[in-house]
Each structure stands twice: as C-alpha cells, then as structure tokens.
Amino acid sequence: MSADAIRSEGEAYREFRRLRWPPAGEPVCPRCGTKRICELTTRPVFRCRACRRDFTVTTGTPFAYRKVGFADIMAALAAGPVPPSALSQAIGVNYKTAGILRERVAQVAAVGFPAAEHETWRARSRRRAQAPSSPPRPSQPHACPDV
C-alpha cells in the first residue's frame, strides 16, 4: 500500500495490523503464541486468554514504545531506504525522529516482524548479535576474613 493511500490513523492501524499478523491480521500472543485472544473495547489492547497478558499491535517489534502515529510509520515503511532529511519532509516530523524511524524500518527490513512464534524482535536481534559465551569466571575468595 502506498503512503498516499493511507489517509487516517485508523486505516494505518488496520494496515499495520495486517502486516504484523498476516494474512488476515488476527493477533497472536507474543508471549505464549496462542490465538485465543480478546480485544479490549476501551483501548487498542489485546489480552491473551491463555497467559492473561496484555499486548498491543507493536509489542515485540521495533516500533514498540513509539512516539509517532501509525500513519507516519506506514509512510516510512512505504518510503523505503531514504535519507532522514527526505523522510522528515515527506511525513512532517523533525530530522531526529525521521532518523530513528528510518533505523526501525531498516530493522524490520532485515529481521522482519515476529510471526506466529512467541519470540520478540528484541530477543531475535540479541541472539544474532551475541558473541560466543565465555566460560564462567571462578569465584573469588572473600576479602574479609571470618571473625
């Protein structure tokens, strides 16, 4: 979907939800992986009926803890790899916000959205970046003698 086609936050939210949980946008719990989900009517939050945890459409993605709207996120996803200055002019945010949004779009392009598996984006990216673990350090004797 092009950036021009998304006109409202509601449309952008529905499109983001469809991208997050393809093909129909049916939510999956990021903690336990079940599809037994109820949607709260008071706010855009889902509740897992198996583990009873609340989550949103951005939980476990690079866009969690976002400060920009879904319309801006979808415009950045549609724009692709552009410089932050061009992105900031296109969606009407400042340069720093556009730079951070561009980094998050690049992370989604590299790793993808977490699918049905109950693994968050952060856990996957940490696992890829982890170096081989070093052997455990031997315990040191206490500096204070027993009195």
- CB environment 24-38: b (16+ within 10 A), e (fewer): eeebbbbbeeeeebe
Give me the pLDDT at residue 142, please: 41
pLDDT by 10s per residue, the chain, length 147: 444 556 789 999 999 999 888 888 889 898 888 889 998 888 889 999 999 899 999 988 888 888 899 999 999 988 888 899 999 998 889 999 999 999 999 988 887 776 544 444 455 555 555 555 555 555 544 444 443
Residue showing tokens 């690049």: 106
E-assigned strand segments in 50-132: 54-55
Distance CA 107, CA 112 (A): 7
Phi and psi at residue 88, to the nearest 5°:
-65, -35
- Diameter over CA atoms, the chain: 76
> What is the rounded end-to-end Cα distance, in angstroms, of the chain?
73
Give me the pLDDT at residue 147, please: 38
Give me the pLDDT at residue 4, please: 52
Give me the pLDDT at residue 121, please: 47
Strand partners, 47: 38, 54
| Three-state DSSP class for residue 43 | coil
Give me the pLDDT at residue 101, please: 92
Give me the pLDDT at residue 84, please: 92
Strand partners, 39: 46
